[in-house]
Structure 1
Amino acid sequence: MTTVAEKPDQQVDTRTDHTGPARSGRRSLWLICPPLVALLALAIAAAVSLGSVSIPIGDVWAIVAHRIAPGAFESWWTEAREAIVIESRLPRALMAAAVGASLAVAGGVAQAVTRNPLADPYLLGVSSGAGFGVVVLTVLGFGAGVAGVFTLPAAAFLGSLLPLLGVVLVARRANDTTAIVLVGAAMTMVFGAMNTFTLLVLGDDHQLGTVMRWLAGGFGDAGWTMLWAPLTILLVVGTVVLLFGRHLDLLLTGDDGATAMGVNVPRFRVLMLLLVSLLTAGAVAVSGTIGFIGLLIPHLAGFLTGRTSVRLLPTAALLGAIALVAADIAARAVSEGAELPVGVVTGIVGGPAFLLMLWHRYGKATV
């Protein structure tokens, strides 16, 4: 009787060892997410407040509240300041948050699917394909002006989907994650070479500068009309990924264990990698290539909440949004009259952080 009664307890202990303390993990989600939401709201307010024209944070909240509920109270600010807040800085801050959340979620899913802690959202060549779309538009002029302000993001988004064609073709013949990732690496090199050739042979200095600024990443062209695409993709794909959270967790136990629980591992991996690429394409199309967010943030989220997907991914989304809004603030604060690309800021900060992460992970190994 004693042995039978102890078996359920032993099973619970096994799950606890795999994902960290189950109860404390659940508590940590409810303890961590509300402060992160508050911190994100504060970061967005600071991003709207700071700039060449400084606007008090209290005025920022009042302007936004007045726009949401007109006539609720008398305004004391100028129309120029309201235009700065509503038409310029607020959509930029929200776009930075949406892109940061997208890259962080995509990185978390990519690391879970490949069981590779060094995987990032660009592992299937999305960024190089997006760059190719921008190069074709900028240098060759194909489709220039067709979609108005959406022309450049549309070209980047369509270009980012090109590497996926090769991935899908290989995935249909070889249901193997390694082969798919290798195809992504090959696509990255191929499109990178095509970009370099087109710029050096057919482009001029002005076109080269335009493409390089886009590749460095930034939100200088952000607006309400461009915000809805990455935000919609984030909400739809993020919801789908969370619904498959249990399957992602099963992959962490190994292919045999996931297969035994009824998961078609090869097809599920391909589906998740395609969703990762779609999420990344929506972000890259409006921001350019921004590194390290999708690589580092999932590790920080996992440290805070454990590796269970239903807890890790929402936490990673909030942390990624906060990190990229903060990076955009730093990019605008470097010097007056000049704006540093956001990708440069994330690279300067993310590079040392990445080295520290590797040192912490492997530095204790004994020779």
Structure 2
Amino acid sequence: MSGSHVWVGKWRRVSALPVLAVLLVVAAVVAISLGPVRIPFLDTCRILLNGIGIHADVPERFASVVSDIRLPRVLLAMVAGAGLAVVGAMMQALFRNPLADPGITGVSSGGAVGAVLVLVTGADAFGRWTLPAAAFCGSLVALVVVQTIATFRKDRSPITVLLAGTALTAILGAVVGAIISNAPDAQTVRSAVFWLQGDLSAAGWSDLAPAAAPALVGCAVILMCARELNVMLLGDEQSRSVGLDAVRTRRFLLLVAAVVTGAIVSVTGIIGFVGLVVPHIVRLAVSSDHRLLLPASALFGALFLTVADLVARLLFSPVSLQTGVVTALLGAPILLLLVLRPQGQEAGR
């Protein structure tokens, strides 16, 4: 490798996190400023500064729009994007499979069953927490089923968990379809389909806490396991040779991934492609070392979902698209471009 290529690679690794952080802040302020009510960029900055205790004069008519409507939605997009991207990067390392994503173990499908059951049976009338709680419990049940299958088979390889998760996802998808097809009315079907496609339009402060706390704590745990993930890429035998119990580590990290994914899905619905595409882009542009890949994926995932949600709000305004639809429209072509790109060395090698 030439000296210029080495220098460029080092510069990308050093500058990646600060650049992504700045872009994320700018995107967040822009997303808060734009909408049916346009708020001047500087006024948005002043309102946000007021929120952290730095006094600045702002028009009252804008303050409530920012604090009550747009800020929680943007923060939820950032938390969900970061969490899904970090879990996606971790799953691709655990299974040594570039197509792995946060829902590959059936967690998202389990959450979907719980949510759709609540919607179809009318149990959401008991309170707004009913649906997120059911979706979260469904996610955890799916993980337990997959882990139980792997335990009974006594096969500790990641391929067993992967195949069990794929089979369970297919079964739960059929269950969701059967439940929706027997919904009592068209409005219930619409609500279920709306949730399954993922959306942030109804996000409020009460939605942020149940997703943010597990997602942030789980991502912090995964970041602390970056070295272990680097080792596990070499395989279970090589991991064992350096004193790492790959099976136990994998089980622990899958539990963390289920908690993070379940918490996010329970609030946002199923938002695809973030956990699949973002790690690939970061790995290609920045580094494949998980000590850098994971934090960079968190920042870029938050940026990606924030921009996708902004596009969902503005593209056909005043009609709003669902956030999950936009992530698919953006993520699928990006994934195709990554597949068709000329083969070469990754940036972090």
TM-score by length of 2: 0.91
How far residue 335 of structure 1 moved from its aligned partner, in angstroms, is 1.9
The counterpart of 2:35, out of the listed 43, 51, 55, is 51
| CA–CA separation in structure 1 for the residues paired with 2:109 and 2:134 | 12
Q: Does 1:231 align with 2:215?
A: no
Aligned-partner residue type, residue 136 of structure 2: F
Structure 2, unmatched stretches of 5+, are: 345-349
Please name the residue that 1:89 is paired with.
70
Contact 2:227 2:290 in 1 (8 A): yes
TM superposition outliers: structure 1 runs of 4+ over 3 Å: 23-30
- Identity level (%): 36
How far residue 338 of structure 1 moved from its aligned partner, in angstroms, is 1.7
TM-score by length of 1: 0.87
Please name the residue that 1:199 is paired with.
180
Q: Does 1:326 align with 2:310?
A: no
Aligned-partner residue type, residue 77 of structure 1: P
| CA–CA separation in structure 1 for the residues paired with 2:267 and 2:52 | 26
Please name the residue that 2:116 is paired with.
135
Question: For residues 247-286 of structure 1, what are the structure 2 equivalents within 5 Å?
Answer: 247-286=228-267
Contact 2:13 2:287 in 1 (8 A): no
Q: Secondary structure of the equivalent of 1:306?
A: coil
Q: How many residues end up aligned between the 2 structures? A: 339
Aligned-partner residue type, residue 165 of structure 2: G
> Which whole-Å deviations, capped at 9, do the CAs of 1:110-153 have from their partners, x for residues lacking one?
001111111111101122111111111111134x344x332222
| CA–CA separation in structure 2 for the residues paired with 1:76 and 1:230 | 30
| CA–CA separation in structure 1 for the residues paired with 2:65 and 2:58 | 15
> Which whole-Å deviations, capped at 9, do the CAs of 1:202-232 have from their partners, x for residues lacking one?
4321111001111111111211122122222
| CA–CA separation in structure 2 for the residues paired with 1:68 and 1:256 | 50
How far residue 273 of structure 1 moved from its aligned partner, in angstroms, is 2.1
Please name the residue that 1:37 is paired with.
21
| CA–CA separation in structure 1 for the residues paired with 2:165 and 2:13 | 34
Contact 1:112 1:251 in 2 (8 A): yes
Q: Secondary structure of the equivalent of 1:149?
A: coil
Aligned-partner residue type, residue 151 of structure 2: R
Aligned-partner residue type, residue 18 of structure 2: P
Change in CA separation of 1:151 and 1:337 when aligned onto 2, cut-off 3 Å: farther
Q: Does 1:116 align with 2:100?
A: no
The counterpart of 2:275, out of the listed 263, 273, 294, is 294
The counterpart of 1:149, out of the listed 111, 125, 128, is 128
| CA–CA separation in structure 2 for the residues paired with 1:26 and 1:362 | 21
Q: Secondary structure of the equivalent of 2:271?
A: coil
| CA–CA separation in structure 1 for the residues paired with 2:29 and 2:161 | 41
Structure 1, unmatched stretches of 5+, are: 1-12, 14-19
Contact 2:150 2:164 in 1 (8 A): no
Contact 1:171 1:270 in 2 (8 A): no
Aligned-partner residue type, residue 139 of structure 2: S
How far residue 320 of structure 1 moved from its aligned partner, in angstroms, is 0.4
How far residue 42 of structure 1 moved from its aligned partner, in angstroms, is 0.7
Contact 2:101 2:275 in 1 (8 A): yes
How far residue 254 of structure 1 moved from its aligned partner, in angstroms, is 2.4
> Which whole-Å deviations, capped at 9, do the CAs of 1:209-265 have from their partners, x for residues lacking one?
001111111111211122122222222111211222111101122222111001112
| CA–CA separation in structure 2 for the residues paired with 1:134 and 1:210 | 10
Q: Secondary structure of the equivalent of 2:73?
A: helix
| CA–CA separation in structure 1 for the residues paired with 2:8 and 2:343 | 27
How far residue 76 of structure 1 moved from its aligned partner, in angstroms, is 4.0
Q: Secondary structure of the equivalent of 1:62?
A: helix
How far residue 83 of structure 1 moved from its aligned partner, in angstroms, is 0.6
Aligned-partner residue type, residue 248 of structure 1: L
| CA–CA separation in structure 1 for the residues paired with 2:39 and 2:129 | 30
| CA–CA separation in structure 2 for the residues paired with 1:309 and 1:92 | 29
Please name the residue that 1:5 is paired with.
none
Change in CA separation of 1:178 and 1:361 when aligned onto 2, cut-off 3 Å: farther
The counterpart of 1:187, out of the listed 168, 183, 190, is 168
Contact 1:129 1:159 in 2 (8 A): yes
Change in CA separation of 1:52 and 1:161 when aligned onto 2, cut-off 3 Å: same
| CA–CA separation in structure 2 for the residues paired with 1:239 and 1:67 | 25
Please name the residue that 2:294 is paired with.
313
Question: For residues 339-354 of structure 1, what are the structure 2 equivalents within 5 Å?
Answer: 339-354=320-335
> Which whole-Å deviations, capped at 9, do the CAs of 1:52-96 have from their partners, x for residues lacking one?
0000110011112123327x34x3413x32110001001100100
How far residue 361 of structure 1 moved from its aligned partner, in angstroms, is 5.9
Contact 2:85 2:301 in 1 (8 A): yes
Contact 1:98 1:321 in 2 (8 A): yes
Query: Which of structures 1 and 2 has the bigger CA Rg?
Result: 1
Change in CA separation of 1:63 and 1:196 when aligned onto 2, cut-off 3 Å: same
Q: Secondary structure of the equivalent of 2:98?
A: coil
Contact 1:150 1:226 in 2 (8 A): no
| CA–CA separation in structure 2 for the residues paired with 1:254 and 1:360 | 27
